[in-house]
Amino acid sequence: MAEVYAARRERLRDHCAAAGSDAALVSRPANVRYLAGVAPQGAVLLLGGKEDVLLCGEALGTELGEGRPDEALRIQVLDAAGVDAAVAAAGLLMSEGAESAQVLAVEEHHLTVARHRALATVAPRLRLADLGGAVERLRLVKDEGEISCLRIAAEIADQALSELLESILVGRTERHLALELERRLVDHGADGPAFATSVGTGPHSGRITHRPTDRRVEEGDFLSVCLGAAYHGYRCEIGRTFVIGTSPADWQIELYDVVFAAQRAGRETLRPGAACRDVDRVTREVLGAAGYTEALAPRTGHGVGLEIDEDPRLGPAAMGRLDACVPVTVEPGVHLPGRGGVRIDDTLVVRPEADGGPELLTITTKELLAL
Amino acid sequence: MAEVYAARRERLRDHCAAAGSDAALVSRPANVRYLAGVAPQGAVLLLGGKEDVLLCGEALGTELGEGRPDEALRIQVLDAAGVDAAVAAAGLLMSEGAESAQVLAVEEHHLTVARHRALATVAPRLRLADLGGAVERLRLVKDEGEISCLRIAAEIADQALSELLESILVGRTERHLALELERRLVDHGADGPAFATSVGTGPHSGRITHRPTDRRVEEGDFLSVCLGAAYHGYRCEIGRTFVIGTSPADWQIELYDVVFAAQRAGRETLRPGAACRDVDRVTREVLGAAGYTEALAPRTGHGVGLEIDEDPRLGPAAMGRLDACVPVTVEPGVHLPGRGGVRIDDTLVVRPEADGGPELLTITTKELLAL
């Protein structure tokens, strides 16, 4: 694994060199983890200079957080002020004998104004530049090691969900069902839930990021569930909607069929080279043709990886195209205020048609089950 | 409740006026919640100008997060770029007819460099200043409404812990015990856990922020547990250490007595006017007199409230003194590598001696129980 991290850091170093930076300070936790193998709270990774150093704050103690640190990396534990001082020291080392100011690229979309100012003060010989989303762009296309973590995460979520479906649901609260799912994720080897599990019943069903309440499952309800496992830091997502009772009502079948068709259209659009906005457009068109145009989610899906919501974003204003080995969710939904709704959410990996097309990671059935 | 939030905003407005700012942009989530009653993801609160506005990003959808928004507050839902634009518009409104540039104070310790730059670009007529920790300072002393939320949170944690102690522990894993505790917190009405529950057994016991593993509880182990409930947004913390089996070993009794004495010394130091560093010093002296000087936590305790770790910090370098109605933890511990250790952690509210001295919120016994 050490070579994987070293190779990633090498790619970032190349990027920095091309952009005219002598070194980079990576502070966004998922980016630190991607490059170092761990991301202790408050840790920053300094790339360049004489060697790469992971600088950890005092909050850490002896803990190094989840994951294993890359052994090729020097780890320096400091107090909070010390991180800035160490960066400064590294900066000064770099400047030795240099004629012009050295350039340190920082993540301006993550670093706070106060931290930026402190750096500028302790390292006056450094010029601070913006690293922008360079690490996020490296993270976009996953290697097979990352995809296999996502695959295991998806298996765990599928298992937790299938076990829940075998139990009695009527009379249980949304909060209890959500907790039960999270316990099962951990039982099956997850680091933990990938995000707060959402369980919506009856009028709450089909809402995006619904927080579970004390409402109990009733006969005739739609039940929508969205959960995911984190496995070795990688996060997947699955969402399904079920009907409680023996037979769904006509409006439930109709609504389900529309969302299912929209989700399938989105999945079928996933291929290397497809425009991100087209995936969103085709799902929206199916919903729109059935008369559902209002209160739709701003996006149809998003990338997953070390974060549950990362690039690419699949929405009407999304730029860019999909690549092979990019995992994304496809998750259209419709919520009818007061009545409830349907969401169907899968995690898939974009693959060329020659390799069989998109790889579905979350394999729980998408038939409308009556439980 | 609306008056509570309005009064808090009024105090902040007074602070801004005294500091020469015309308006303030609050972005740190706990600060937004303190002033607005809710903190939807990514929301910012704009104070000043013609009216106070809570600006919410698109990620929110129809969700407004936990808590109830102050009804006196205008809520504006915008996409991400819209927040900056709305701030700019508010800024421009403020500038109407003004001769000099208007000053907007922002939370430089929370706002990213990129966001700060975007604000400066869209609102060139505004001068951006630093609000610093002004809201954090307002949050330091709690009102009785806040303290009663903390009191309920502590009751919930006490209940969850006492139920766990009645169950069979030997053979269960740290991860299962932690999940079970979190389920019980929710059962008893918590919003959720106040932080990731820590359960350490045997050699893991007594470590700060130990992440539960698959190690199983064994006879003769120390078992240390640290948990807390969030209730209406307010977070408490309790930590206890137990012995598994019929009778503790001599070294366990000795170690426990030392940590207990240190924790008591810290608790007894809590009074209005006491220096924060003195609370830390007295606990450290007890541990030091018994020969434990190494690998101690950098702090003995910290404030709690809308965040689980907030001001004041009780450590050797802490500045400032305690006030009445400031809730803090007192949580010394000793961990002997390879053997395990003891932590004892309470949440208390500083009260004057005339009112009976510090109010203990977490009332689970601190006798060394053999389970």
* Residue-wise pLDDT tens digits, A221-255: 999 999 999 999 999 999 999 999 988 999 999 99
Cα–Cα distance, B204 to B224 (Å, whole number): 8
Cα–Cα distance, B216 to B171 (Å, whole number): 5
Q: Which pLDDT belongs to residue B121?
A: 85
Query: Before A203, cis peptide (omega within 30)?
Result: no
Of all residues in chain A, the one with the smallest CA distance to B185 is: A179
Q: Is B247 exposed, middle or buried, given 0-12, 13-18 or 19+ CB atoms closer than 10 A?
A: exposed
Gap from B112 CA to chain A (nearest CA, Å): 4
Mode of pairing for the β-strands spanning A234-235 and A340-343? unpaired
- Give mean pLDDT, residues A179-208: 93
Gap from B109 CA to chain A (nearest CA, Å): 5
Of all residues in chain B, the one with the smallest CA distance to A130 is: B114
Cα→Cα distances A237→A305, A362, B189, Å: 10, 8, 27
User: What residue spans in chain A does CATH classification 3.40.350.10 cover?
Assistant: 2-139
More confident residue, B96 or A179: A179
Look at residue B22 and give its three-state secondary structure: coil
The closest of B52, B43, B64 to B24, measured between CA atoms, is B52
pLDDT digits (tens, 9 = 90+) for A109-131: 999 999 999 888 887 778 899 99
User: What residue spans in chain A does CATH classification 3.90.230.10 cover?
Assistant: 141-360
The three state secondary structure string of chain A is: CHHHHHHHHHHHHHHHHHHCCCEEEECCHHHHHHHHCCCCCCCEEEEECCCCEEEECHHHCCCCCCCCCCCCCEEEECCHHHHHHHHHHHHHHHHCCCCCCEEEEECCCCCEHHHHHHHHHHCCCEEEEECCCHHHHHHHCCCHHHHHHHHHHHHHHHHHHHHHHCCCCCCCEHHHHHHHHHHHHHHCCCCEECCCCEEEEHHHCCCCCCCCCCCECCCCCEEEEEECEEECCEECCEEEEEECCCCCCHHHHHHHHHHHHHHHHHHHHCCCCCEHHHHHHHHHHHHHHCCCCCCCCCCCEEECCCCCCEEEEECCCCCCECCCCCEEEECCEEEECCCEEEECEEEEECCCHHHCCCEECCCCCCCCCEC
Chain B residues touching chain A at CB-CB below 8 Å: 58, 61-63, 66, 79, 106, 108-114, 116-117, 130, 175-176, 179, 182-183, 186, 207-211, 295, 297-298
Of all residues in chain A, the one with the smallest CA distance to B179 is: A183
Task: Identify from B66, B112, B180, B204 which residue to disrupt to test chain A contact, counting A C-beta atoms within 10 A and taking the largest count.
Answer: B112
For residue A95, pLDDT over 60 is answered with: no
Q: Which pLDDT belongs to residue B133?
A: 95
Is the Cα torsion angle B230, B231, B232, B234 positive or negative in sign? Answer: negative
Mode of pairing for the β-strands spanning B53-56 and B74-77? parallel
Matching residue, tokens 């000793």? B334
Is A114 in Cβ contact with B112 (below 8 Å)? no
Global confidence as pTM: 0.85
Q: Which pLDDT belongs to residue A59?
A: 44
Task: Identify from A41, A64, A66, A113 which residue to disrupt to test chain B contact, counting B C-beta atoms within 10 A and taking the largest count.
Answer: A113
According to the CATH classification, is domain B2-139 in 3.40.350.10? yes
Contacts by B346-349, CB closer than 8 A, 24 or more apart: B346/B238, B346/B239, B346/B263, B346/B267, B347/B150, B347/B154, B347/B228, B347/B236, B347/B237, B347/B238, B347/B304, B348/B267, B348/B270, B349/B142, B349/B147, B349/B150, B349/B325
Mode of pairing for the β-strands spanning A229-231 and A234-235? antiparallel
pLDDT digits (tens, 9 = 90+) for A263-314: 999 999 999 999 999 999 999 999 999 999 887 888 999 999 999 999 999 9
Report whether A114 contacts B132 (CB < 8 A). no
| Of B63, B113, B130, Cβ closest to residue A116 | B113
Using a CB-CB distance cutoff of 8 angstroms, which residues of chain B are in contact with residue A295? 62
- In this structure, what are the phi and psi dihedrals at residue A331, rounded to the nearest 5 degrees? -150, 60
CA B69 to chain centre: 21
Look at residue B288 and give its three-state secondary structure: helix
Is B108 in Cβ contact with A108 (below 8 Å)? no
Which residues, 6+ apart, have CB-to-CB distance to B18 below 8 Å? none
pLDDT digits (tens, 9 = 90+) for A166-176: 999 999 999 98
Report whether B178 contacts B220 (CB < 8 A). no
Is A114 in Cβ contact with B113 (below 8 Å)? no
Reported ipTM: the value is 0.80
Interface A–B counts its CB contacts (< 8 A) at: 73
Using a CB-CB distance cutoff of 8 angstroms, which residues of chain B are in contact with residue A77? none
Matching residue, tokens 């706990």? B30
Using a CB-CB distance cutoff of 8 angstroms, which residues of chain A are in contact with residue B186? 175-176, 179
Q: Which pLDDT belongs to residue B118?
A: 87
Cα–Cα distance, A343 to A335 (Å, whole number): 8
Report whether A300 contacts A268 (CB < 8 A). no
Is A114 in Cβ contact with B109 (below 8 Å)? yes
Is B63 in Cβ contact with A209 (below 8 Å)? yes
Cα–Cα distance, A233 to A329 (Å, whole number): 17
The closest of B247, B179, B244 to B212, measured between CA atoms, is B179
Cα–Cα distance, B130 to B128 (Å, whole number): 7
Identify the band that residue A49 occupies on the pLDDT scale cut at 50, 70 and 90: low
The three state secondary structure string of B195-220 is: CCCEEEEHHHCCCCCCCCCCCECCCC
Cα–Cα distance, B277 to B80 (Å, whole number): 42
The residues pairing with B103 across neighbouring beta strands, listed in sequence order, are: B127
Q: Which pLDDT belongs to residue B84?
A: 64
Cα–Cα distance, A80 to A27 (Å, whole number): 13
Chain A residues touching chain B at CB-CB below 8 Å: 58, 61-63, 66, 79, 106, 108-114, 116-117, 130, 175-176, 179, 182-183, 186, 207-211, 295, 297-298
Of all residues in chain B, the one with the smallest CA distance to A28 is: B112
pLDDT in tens, chain B (371 residues): 778 999 999 999 999 999 999 889 999 999 999 999 988 888 889 888 667 888 876 543 333 445 666 666 677 666 555 666 666 666 555 555 555 568 999 999 999 999 999 888 887 778 899 999 999 999 999 999 999 999 999 999 999 999 999 999 999 999 989 989 998 998 899 988 999 999 999 999 999 879 899 999 999 999 999 999 999 999 999 999 999 998 899 999 999 999 999 999 999 999 999 999 999 999 999 999 999 988 788 899 999 999 999 999 999 999 999 999 999 999 999 999 999 999 999 999 999 999 999 999 999 999 999 98
For residue A61, pLDDT over 50 is answered with: no
Is B111 in Cβ contact with A108 (below 8 Å)? no
Gap from A299 CA to chain B (nearest CA, Å): 10
Q: Which pLDDT belongs to residue A233?
A: 94
Identify the band that residue A50 occupies on the pLDDT scale cut at 50, 70 and 90: low
Report whether A270 contacts A348 (CB < 8 A). yes
Report whether A316 contacts A284 (CB < 8 A). yes
Cα–Cα distance, A171 to A254 (Å, whole number): 26
Gap from A280 CA to chain B (nearest CA, Å): 16
Cα–Cα distance, A26 to A189 (Å, whole number): 30
pLDDT digits (tens, 9 = 90+) for A333-359: 999 999 999 999 999 999 999 999 999
H or E stretch covering B76: strand B74-77
Cα–Cα distance, B1 to B70 (Å, whole number): 7
Of all residues in chain A, the one with the smallest CA distance to B133 is: A114
Our CA angle for A261, A266, A271, nearest 5°, is: 140
Q: Which fold has domain A141-360?
A: Creatine Amidinohydrolase (3.90.230)
Is A108 in Cβ contact with B114 (below 8 Å)? yes
Mode of pairing for the β-strands spanning A346-349 and A327-330? antiparallel
Is A113 in Cβ contact with B114 (below 8 Å)? no
Is B113 in Cβ contact with A108 (below 8 Å)? yes
Is A114 in Cβ contact with B61 (below 8 Å)? no
